[in-house]
Amino acid sequence: MLDVLIFATLNGVVTGLLLFMLAAGLTLIFSMMGVLNFAHASFYMLGAYCAYSISLYLGFWVGLLVAPLLVGVLGALIERYGLRRVHQSGHVAELVFTFGLAFLIEESIQFFWGRDTKNYQSPDILDFALFTLFGQEFSAYRGFMIAISVGIFIGLYFVLTRTRIGIIIQAAITHPKTVANLGHNVPLIFMGVFGAGTALAGLAGVIAGPVLTTFPGMAVVLGSIVFVIVVIGGLGSLAGAFIASLLIGLLQSYAIASDVGMQDLLNVFGIDFPYDHPLADLWGLTLPQIAPILPFLLLILVLIFRPTGLLGKREE
Amino acid sequence: MTLLRKLSVWVAYLAALLLLPQLFDSILAISVFNQMAIAIVFALSYNMLLGQGGMLSFGHAVYFGMGGFLAVHALLMLETETAHFSIIWIPLIGGLFGLLAAIFIGSFSTRKAGTVFAMISLGIGELIAASSLIFVDFFGGEAGISGDRTYGPTFFGIDFAQNVEVYYLASGWVFISTVFMYLFIQTPVGRMANAVRDNPVRAEFIGYSARHVRFISFCASGLFAGIAGGLFALNYEFITEENLNAATSGRVLLMAYIGGLGYFIGPIIGAVLLTLMNSLLSNYTELWMLYLGILFLLTVMFLPRGFAGFIMMHQLAWVRGKLRDLVVPYLMTGIPAVIFMLSLIALIELVHAEEASLHIYGLTLDPAAAGTWIALLLIATAALFGTRRSLPQLRAAWDTANHIPDEER
Amino acid sequence: MAILSLKNVHKSFGNTQIIRGVSLDIEQGEKHAIIGPNGAGKSTLYHLISGLYRVTSGTIELRQQPIHNRAPYEISRLGLARSFQVTNIFPRLNVFENVRCALLWSHGFRYSFWHLLGRQGELNDSAMHVLDQIGLKDKARYPAGELAYAQQRALELGIAIASGAEVIMLDEPVAGMSHSEAENAVQLIRRITEGKTLIMVEHDMNIVFDVADRITVLVYGEVIASDVPAAIRGNPKVQEAYLGEVATSA
């Protein structure tokens, strides 16, 4: 039991940190520009595919360095020439634009790379067990994932709170006009933040690709969950996104690892249903089965009872 | 518009619906028309939410799918003779289930419009699509469920075994649905939906709860989406989890947006356009989805009011009789633009071509020959330049045609 | 009996007190102006009365019925209408539709989806009548968002009065208007609020002293004076806090 718990926790943390890498970029972009970037998970996917291609010729580590940069540059260009143009048509148009962008990026990826699953390998140097507990191995690559994620967050926190550009960004998030009046180039900042956000998403793709498989559906799998996280954590709150990411990561991990089902719950009350009962599907539900939908259940509950999320700003 | 002109538009619409199969009677054509009918009702129902009500939903397929699933179950009930009614009522059954689902879900999801509403709709859509794979009895798991529409009592001797018979039934429902959705806008709550879209705060100050108005719009759109789902069930006799998922929701958003949200006829245009792209274009190229994505993005960026909006932009010029002044500038800019697009498409197809030769526009091109590439690139570049050069003239002509001199104001 | 009555109303946003114990009684049929320097809390007071904000403490009563903390649409249905300082119309509907929507509830249509608006003769006549009163009859089919500024303000007014509410609250109705436009607007306001209770926030002292039966002066969220115009003019506290050197045109 304990070994299941420990490994489930570790896996949950890995997933949670990965999700936060995506959620952080999304939150930054939303705080700054008021637009929920629907295509965020597509940039994640793009990062994975780019890194895969680079890794074929130049190895994993070059891919790790270069792919996020490529994705970030593309993101900045899209902001400059696409999103900025749509901005004047209102929030709905922006959301629809990013939605169309998501669609287009996924189709383009399939166009350039094909529809098959790519054999994106983690680097050999990390192909050992970091430690073995109760007979189960925890791979060094996963440890690497944790290390990179934590490193990025420390760096992000440092940049946002201790450097000049970071403080300007924080100010521009809430008061773009004032910041512009102070002589800063706000459009450039917007472009930079969008590029940085998408680069983060791309980086998440680079390190997740080998583990979560690089295939055309990878954006869809994560995309909705990232939105759930951002909403649950509270739109616009990085701390909230962090808590929510870990929460969801751990929740899913525990749910999948557990063996509990509706049957067990009902047996506690001494109820038993025959197998051909019309609602047999419901009674036969197990926790691992509903693990994929748990985040959405949580989302709906949060939106009903606490629409501003865990740490979001309250409205009057 | 006078009453006579309005009525004649509706008569023309009904006539077009009924006469289409007479003009194009191949099996493929009838199948395409059936798809169009379903898409029209679905897209119009979506516009009740987005265009009329200002509520962007990423989960509208739920009501479409739910309607479809209950419709197939109803067909199964007819088959097992647990129920006894003509299948002409199936779309209504689908509609009622869509309405029920909308009432339930709308009760908590319509509190806010905007981003929160969009996120809730996404969450609900994913939740239900995922749940459908768990509740296998109702949803049939990954394989879905299928039925047979030839059971139940015949309707004046018709058993609806043939596609064209289904088409006439569908066009009847399309017409009725269109009429009712149009009339909805002319009712107090329909008009208030527009007001709430424009300014929810002010709407409250004139006595209306914005939430309540949104809820009613939401339920109405769920009803018609369910009807579209019922039509789908009748046409294909089969429905799966795919018909409830985010991809289907995305497709109806595309249809409504490309067609034009702010006009009633917009979604109809979008539905027709997208169905044609889906069924015809997909025969010529694997990449039609890519083109669809590009078209969508271009529409969002350059034609935010959709194709309907583009047509209506010319209304002022038409009223003032200045439309003919625009013809030459349009040709001067339009022809190079079209050539540019076609050459770009050829290039994309060439990149993608796996076989030794590419058949496009009646020509046979050789992907291996450098000459093909150079020629296409030159044509594309030249066309692009041509477009950019004539654009200022088009703009000037446009301004002149639309300029209202001070005397006329 | 006062038709609108505020008793010791407080409003704080976090630790900042905006309204500090405002008590006010407004009689039926009265023309009441609220004046005060910028930041005094006039708009906040309006938002509290019309239901946009909740009070931190205190009560607001309309015809002796508590309306504080109720939703704006409930308060509107009880017969209190307001206009906004920043034009707040329905830009994509035409002028006629704007006014007609404002009439819907008072004509009893509620959330009906079984009446066709085009066939409601009485409703449409009433809407036209309002358009006539505000002088926008010939702009009936114009999209509201494309009107000139002064016309939008007139429409703003029209939406407020259309419902036939007994208490009408106007927030700087002539702001941004030229002198002649403002004069027309004031005449319009006089005409359409005849017999009704009018509350008006206004900066132009000439209009205030012209229109108002009573004036309340709000400074830093407190009422420092509430009296007839003559008394306000001579009140030293008011002069010190707000009016300064006023060239009174007797």
Q: Do B290 and A111 touch (CB under 8 A)?
A: yes
Is the predicted pLDDT of residue C220 greater than 50, yes or no? yes
How many angstroms from the chain centroid is the CA of residue C216? 15
> Nearest-CA distance from B85 to chain C in Å?
28
For tokens 């199964």, name the residue: B76
What are the tokens at A56?
């074929």
Q: Which domain holds residue A292?
A: 2-305
DSSP assignment of C63-124 equals TTEE-TT--HHHHHHTTEEE--SS----TTSBHHHHHHHHHHTTTT-TT-SSS-GGG-HHHH
Region class of C36: left (phi > 0), else alpha (psi between -120 and 50), else beta: left
Q: What is the CATH number of the domain that holds A96?
A: 1.10.3470
Alpha-carbon distance A314 to nearest alpha carbon in chain C (angstroms): 11
**Domain count for chain A:** 1
Instruction: Write down the pLDDT at residue A272.
Output: 64
Bridge partners for C80 per DSSP:
C167
CA distance C67 to C47: 12
Q: What residue segments make up the domains of chain C, in order of their start?
A: 2-249
CA dihedral C42, C45, C51, C52 (to 10 degrees): 50
Q: Tell me if A133 is assigned to some domain.
A: yes
Task: Identify which of C244, C202, C161 has the alpha carbon closest to the alpha carbon of residue C43.
Answer: C202
What is the amino acid identity at position B237? E
Choose from C113, C141, C157 for mutation: most chain B CBs within 10 A: C113
CA distance B271 to B257: 10
How high does pLDDT run on average in chain B? Answer: 86
Q: Is A66 helix (H, G, I), strand (E, B) or coil?
A: helix
Asked if A248 contacts A229 with a C-beta cutoff of 8 angstroms, the reply is yes
Which residues fall within 8 angstroms of residue A270, CB to CB, at 6 or more apart? none
* pLDDT, tens digit (0-9, with 9 covering 90-100), for B262-276: 889 999 999 999 999
Residues 212 through 271 of chain B touching chain C, CB cutoff 8 Å: 212-213, 216, 220, 262
pLDDT at B86: 82
Instruction: Say whether pLDDT at A177 is over 70.
Output: yes
pLDDT of C78 > 60? The answer is yes
Tens of pLDDT, residue by residue over B80-113, are 888 788 888 899 999 999 999 999 999 988 887 7
Residue C53 touches partner A, C-beta closer than 8 Å:
yes
Contacts of A127 (CB under 8 A, 6+ apart): A139, A140, A141
Instruction: Answer whether A36 sits within 8 Å of B119, measured CB to CB.
Output: yes
H/E element, B88: none
List the structure tokens of A294: 């748990």
Residues on chain C bordering chain B, Cβ-to-Cβ distance under 8 angstroms: 50-52, 71-73, 76-77, 81-82, 84, 88-93, 97, 100-102, 104-106, 109-118, 159, 162-163
**Structure confidence at residue B114 as a pLDDT band (50, 70, 90):** confident
Record: contact B120-A86, CB cut-off 8 A: no
A-B CB pairs within 8 A amount to 111
Model pLDDT, residue A29: 84
Tokens of C110: 């509620």
User: Is A95 within 8 Å of chain B by CB?
Assistant: yes
A253 within domain boundaries: yes
Distance CA A292, CA A252 (A): 7
Q: How many residues does chain C have?
A: 250
pLDDT digit string, tens, across residues B154-210: 777 777 788 888 899 999 999 999 999 999 999 999 999 999 999 999 999 999 999
Residues 6+ apart with CB under 8 A from B298: none
End-to-end alpha carbon distance in chain A: 47
Residue/partner pairs of B134-140 with CB below 8 Å, 24 or more apart: B134/A281, B134/A285, B134/A289, B134/A290, B134/A293, B135/A281, B135/A282, B136/A281, B137/A278, B137/A280, B137/A281, B138/A281, B138/B69, B138/B73, B139/B69, B139/B241, B140/B240
Cα dihedral sign, B51-B55-B57-B62: negative
* Three-point CA angle C82, C88, C89, nearest 5°: 105
Q: How many residues make up chain A in this entry?
A: 316
- The confidence score (pLDDT) of residue C249 equals 42
At the topology level of CATH, where does C2-249 sit?
A: Rossmann fold (3.40.50)
pLDDT exceeds cutoff 90 at A38: no
Q: Are strands C222-227 and C214-219 parallel, antiparallel or unpaired?
A: antiparallel
Listed residue (B237, B214, B234, B277) closest to B147, CA to CA: B237
Nearest residue of C to residue B199 by CA position?
A: C90
Q: Which amino acid is at B373?
A: W
**A218-235, pLDDT tens digit by residue?**
888 788 888 888 888 877
Q: Which residue has the tokens 């409003």?
A: C11
Q: In degrees rounded to 5, what are phi and psi of residue C11?
A: -140, 125
How does DSSP assign C13-43, residue by residue? ETTEEEEEEEEEEEETT-EEEEE--TTSSHH
By the 8 A CB rule, do B360 and B352 touch?
no
Q: What is the pLDDT of residues A75-102, one digit of tens each?
A: 999 998 888 888 877 777 888 899 889 9
Whats the size of chain B, residue-wise? 409
> Which one of A32-36, A87-91, A126-130, C38-42 scores highest in mean pLDDT?
C38-42
Q: How confident is the model at residue B348 (pLDDT cuts 50, 70, 90)?
A: confident
B213-240 pLDDT per residue, tens: 999 999 999 999 999 999 999 999 889 9
Residue A316 falls inside a structural domain: no
Q: What is the pLDDT of residue A269?
A: 66
Inter-chain CB proximity A97 and B301 less than 8 Å:
yes
Instruction: Tell me which DSSP letter residue C168 carries.
Output: E
Q: Which helix (H) or strand (E) holds A217?
A: none
Q: For the ranges B134-143, B307-316, B347-356, which has the lowest average pLDDT?
A: B347-356
Tokens coding B252: 């109806």
DSSP state of A261: B
CA atoms within 13 Å, Cβ hemisphere of C150: 12
Question: Do B20 and B33 touch, CB atoms closer than 8 A?
Answer: yes
Whether residue A311 lies inside any domain: the answer is: no
Report the pLDDT value the prediction gives residue A55, as an integer from 0 to 100. 85
Burial class (CB in 10 A: 0-12, 13-18, 19+), A268: exposed
In this complex, the residue of A107, A280, A307 whose CB is nearest that of residue B290 is A107
Pick from A283-297, B155-169, C161-175: least confident: A283-297
pTM of the model as a whole: 0.88
Residue C24 bridge partners (DSSP): C6
* Rounded-to-integer distance, Cα C50 and Cα C76, Å: 8
Under 8 Å between Cβ of C129 and B219: no
* Dist. CA A100–CA B293, nearest whole Å: 6
The Cα A26–Cα A240 span in angstroms is 13
Distance from CA of A232 to the nearest CA of C (A): 24
| Alpha helices, DSSP H, located in A215-278 | 218-233, 238-257, 262-268
Does the pLDDT of residue C247 top 50, yes or no?
no
Alpha helices in B186-323 (DSSP H): 188-198, 200-205, 210-236, 246-259, 266-276, 282-284, 288-302, 306-312, 315-319
DSSP string, B98-164: HHHHHHHHHHHH-S--HHHHHHHHHHHHHHHHHHHTT-HHHH-GGG-EE--TT-S--BTTB---SHH
Give the pLDDT score at C154: 87
Q: Is B186 on the interface with C (CB under 8 A)?
A: yes
Lowest mean pLDDT among A46-50, B354-358, C24-28, C35-39: B354-358
Q: Are C62 and C244 in contact (CB under 8 A)?
A: no
